[in-house]
Structure 1
Amino acid sequence: MSLVVVKPQVITSAMLDSSIPEDDYPAWAAGTVYAAGDRVVYAHKVWESVQAANTGKPPPSDATWWVEIGPTNRWKAFDLSHSTKTRFSGAAWFEIMPGRAVNSVALLEFDGLRSVRIRAIDPAYGTVYDKTTMLWTSPGVSGWYPWTFGERRERRNFHALDLPSYRGATIRIDIEAANDAGIGVILVGQQQSIGMGVLSGVRMGMLDYSRKVVDQWGDVELQQRAFARTRSIQVLVENSQLDNVDRVLSGLRATPLLWLVSGQYEQTNVYGWYTDYDIGIQYSRYSELSLNLEGLTES
């Protein structure tokens, strides 16, 4: 398959509605006097007061009064980082009005999900897309014995790449889940195909940020920390498309993207950015694009 890249649409408060309330803490109020350690919600983020007698100062205005803790629970799935998760129980829905045509939806680094229903609802044409996917657990290896008796693994990622492009459509996501479920990233955007196909020889790796600490007596302590997935791929590109590929990649630098490398091997796909690329013009009609990808850190 071609290398498919999905660039996330940045979601603003005007675009999003959800069944998940934004009640992590009380909303900031200008007339309230906050003590040190009090927390409030302001601009979809949680802030903590660092001083007593804190009044009349909006959280972003002065770092000597407030420190940012992070996005609210509702907005953790839209901060483009899967190290934070929107958590809920039983069921949830999201409605996203991107204001532009999108043809891809992805849910990344989730846990506890049972099914997801994606709908695209256009104000003029009605429901133009409606698909439900069961997110069943699966065994780690194939065969009747592992299927019956083996350890089962939950799916962690889902993507729908076949939405019709309707500029005014609302994307509705309905989720059925367990009592404690979480979603790292909800992504909507336009997909792009790069090249004619990914060549064989994909390399999968990991950057592990764990540490080994040795004390003065030689005792070893292993500190497990976050890690990032790495992928190295080669893509066959027609020479007539070289200028366009170079322009596309130049415009996608330092941006978290969903890179879909293979439809057969889910683990080859990665959510992150490219660290570098080079193009070798080797043949009269075709060239090889080499890409090194690095995923966002995971815990």
Structure 2
Amino acid sequence: MDFNIIAPMPVSEVELIASNIPEDDHPDWDSAATYDQGARVISTLSHRIYESLVDNNQGHDPLGDDGSHWLEISATNRWRAFDQRRSNTAKQADRITYSVVPTQDCDAIALFGLTAGTVRIEVWDGAARIYDRSFAMADTGHVVSAYTWFFGGVVYARQKVLNGFPGYIGHRIDITIDATGAVAEVGHIVMGRNNLLGRVRNRPTVQFVSHSRKGYDDFGNEILVKRGSTRKVDLSLLVPTHQAQRVMDIVAEVDGLATAFYVSGDAPSFGIEGLGFVDDHSQPIDVAGESVFPLILKTLK
């Protein structure tokens, strides 16, 4: 198995040129309006949602507020697919569409937190469509017997990774997330350059990490507070020693960014894929040839 990381490119108003999701979650902030405590507004400059913390809130711009008048809630629905979080999903009835024009070479895309029957990726060079692929999101990995084949229901994959398409600077990439008859969702989209780091050594570890907590009610009874879960992936890579600097440069490039990682090759992924960040990386060097590089990644909720 080969281990890959997608170095994410920024997606701002420059790159995102169209979407069928309107940015109308709440009224746009108006300097002349007076807001009561709990009222919500959006800013189409920051693409964020804000909630008023006080009554008679007038003339205080959320963008320059120090937290006295406004609480930042989240990205707007249209921009949640690019806010470095998976659980805060963008939603739209039937389908979601995004059109992105890369400002750097972009040959890979990863979509997380999906609710979709199909995902379609198109690439346009001017008026010419040069790439067009659709992917059915039904996950047959949940079929483990004849019974589950006939009666287990349809299970849909929650993520999709694709690389090798011609997303060069100036091309338009159209993304369609289709859930006809239901609500389409996507938690986060990573677009950027694919990087192969090395070969995965045997016995990587994928650890389930629960963030739920035990609490107590007013009578001292135990209650469980569900807070979701993440995964910790601990693996070692075989890398030609002369490529050690290249690997370290890639790790430094994605530091602090929501990054897509996955394995490629003929073997199953074994759960070694997700949206996360590099938590630890060391490079003991074997000058004779191949070096073994330990790598720890943690996924994002």
TM-score w.r.t. structure 2 length? 0.90
SS state at 1:191 partner? strand
**Preserved CA contact (<8 Å) 2:2 2:196:** yes
Q: 2:107 aligns with which of 103, 108, 116?
A: 103
SS state at 1:164 partner? strand
Structure 1 residue 30, shift from structure 2 partner: 2.0
What are the Cα deviations for residues 139-183 of structure 1, in whole angstroms up to 9, with x where unaligned?
Answer: 524343321223542210012112114211111012220422321
1:67–1:282 Cα change, 3 Å = same
Question: Does 2:73 align with 1:72?
Answer: no
SS state at 1:162 partner? strand
Distance 2:280 2:141 in 1: 35
Paired AA for residue 125 in structure 2: D
1:142–1:265 Cα change, 3 Å = farther
Q: Which residue of 2 aligns with 1:13?
A: 13
**Preserved CA contact (<8 Å) 1:114 1:176:** yes
**Preserved CA contact (<8 Å) 1:28 1:40:** yes
Structure 1 residue 44, shift from structure 2 partner: 1.1
**Preserved CA contact (<8 Å) 1:139 1:147:** no
**Preserved CA contact (<8 Å) 2:117 2:156:** no
Matches within 5 A, 1:1-299: 1-16=1-16, 17-42=18-43, 43-62=46-65, 63-111=67-115, 113-123=116-126, 126-138=128-140, 140-177=142-179, 178-195=181-198, 197-213=199-215, 219-262=221-264, 264-265=268-269, 267-282=271-286, 284-297=288-301
**Preserved CA contact (<8 Å) 1:262 1:268:** no
What are the Cα deviations for residues 40-71 of structure 1, in whole angstroms up to 9, with x where unaligned?
Answer: 11031111122233222221212222111111
Structure 1 residue 137, shift from structure 2 partner: 4.2
Distance 1:94 1:180 in 2: 16
What are the Cα deviations for residues 100-154 of structure 1, in whole angstroms up to 9, with x where unaligned?
Answer: 221111210112x01111011122x722211111112435243433212235422
**Preserved CA contact (<8 Å) 2:42 2:48:** yes
* Number of equivalences: 294
Structure 2 alignment gaps of length 5 or more: none
SS state at 1:24 partner? coil
Distance 2:173 2:141 in 1: 32
Deviates further, 249-258 or 100-109: 249-258
Structure 1 residue 90, shift from structure 2 partner: 0.9
Structure 1 residue 237, shift from structure 2 partner: 0.7
Structure 1 alignment gaps of length 5 or more: none
SS state at 1:28 partner? coil
Distance 2:217 2:14 in 1: 53
**Preserved CA contact (<8 Å) 2:120 2:175:** yes
